[in-house]
Amino acid sequence: MAAFPLPPGSTIGVLGGGQLGRMLAEAASRLGFDVVVLERDADSPAGRVAVRTLVGAYDDPEALKALAEAADVVTYEFENVPAASLDALASLGVEVAPGPKALSAAQDRVDEKTFLGAHGVATVAFAGASTPAEAAAAVAKIGVPCLMKTRREGYDGKGQRWVEHVADAEAVFAALGGRPVIVEAPADFVRELSVIAARGRDGAIVAYPLAENHHEDGILRRTLAPAKASPALSEQAERIAAKVLAGLEYVGVVGIELFELTDGRLLVNEIAPRVHNTGHWTQDGCEVDQFEQHVRAVAGWPLAPARAIAQVEMLNLLGAEVDAWPKFAAEPESRLHLYGKREAKPGRKMGHVNRVKPLR
């Protein structure tokens, strides 16, 4: 195992070669680290800015062995990495951060909400189900309308469907692939918020200002940050983040999606054990962005300030929307971040724009 803090010149391994891995590699490079990416695609967005790409499946024993030999610490850019891969890396003598406890909690929606409840963090009412009959019973217990989601995997609105009638429960279960599901009560929320926070190896915690998020068809379209929020609401979000980070013995940056209710309470929707789309605004709106903060944490460096220095509207560029890059590049207030993906498919995140205004 490496000794922390890691000095510049050390190597950080990243499981996953998408845009989050790319931006992590860029941040790591600024701090003097090398990055090695393990990715199935030899021509990935992260791989093109990393020192080296190891081509292989995330659970390939030889690829994991090569990653362990090359890296002083390993992190991941998305939560659908096999948990066994983290165990394999640990057995090969390299630490992974965030650790397996965070990954396992985030990979299963029932486990996630159970963990949150056990640590005093509120969520919507929920019930798990593994068979058609259990799905019908869960819907009857939670009430309709309710949301049925696969317990594992699924993102950007995939793997979930609304159930309007108890009689539809078994059909919806089948439509989701007959896999184990979670049934969730709807949240009567005013708006969707998120808090990006980090925990260092010394247990120190910092939280970025709240962000307000707007989705379309389950995909994040726009983030406004810092969100208009009372000190009490911001403090409530920070307390939630602290409970989650401490409970998971976390090292790194976490994204926590929140519902703000009419009475001012916050419910946690989901935890993402990684840097997060709703934190992209920090690249141009904060003293230190979420990507450098994550690198600092996993490398054992002191955490940096998370203060906002500007008001930001972050816009995701999906599919062919990226073709408007000349327009955004010409806007004085816009900062363009493109991911280098070769093909613009409908709904695919190709980049984002941060529109920057003076902090109010």
**pLDDT mean over 350-354:** 98
**What is the longest distance spanned by two Cα atoms in the chain?**
60
Closest CA to 99 of 81, 122, 116, 124: 81
Question: Which DSSP helix (H) or strand (E) runs through 171?
Answer: helix 169-175
Cβ-based neighbours of 19, under 8 Å, separated by 6 or more: 45, 46, 339, 341, 349, 351
Residue-range domains of the chain with CATH: 11-96 (3.40.50.20), 125-184 (3.30.1490.20), 189-358 (3.30.470.20)
Count of C-beta atoms within a 10 Å radius of residue 263: 7
pLDDT at residue 159 in the model: 86
Q: What is the mean pLDDT of the chain?
A: 96
Is residue 65 helix, strand or coil? Answer: helix
Q: Which two tokens stand for residue 132?
A: 């058609």
**pLDDT mean over 1-8:** 93
Distances from the Cα of 176 to the Cαs of 74, 132, 150, 158, in angstroms?
A: 33, 11, 7, 10
Residue 360 has pLDDT above 80, yes or no: no
How far apart are the C-alpha atoms of 137 and 114, rounded to whole Å?
19
pLDDT at residue 93 in the model: 96
4 phi, psi to nearest 5 deg: -105, 150
pLDDT at residue 186 in the model: 94
316-350 confidence digits (pLDDT tens): 999 999 999 999 999 999 999 999 999 999 999 99
**pLDDT mean over 22-38:** 98
How far apart are the C-alpha atoms of 351 and 340, rounded to whole Å?
8
pTM of the prediction? Answer: 0.95
Is residue 123 helix, strand or coil? Answer: coil
pLDDT at residue 80 in the model: 87
117-166 confidence digits (pLDDT tens): 999 999 999 999 999 999 999 999 999 999 999 998 766 567 899 999 99
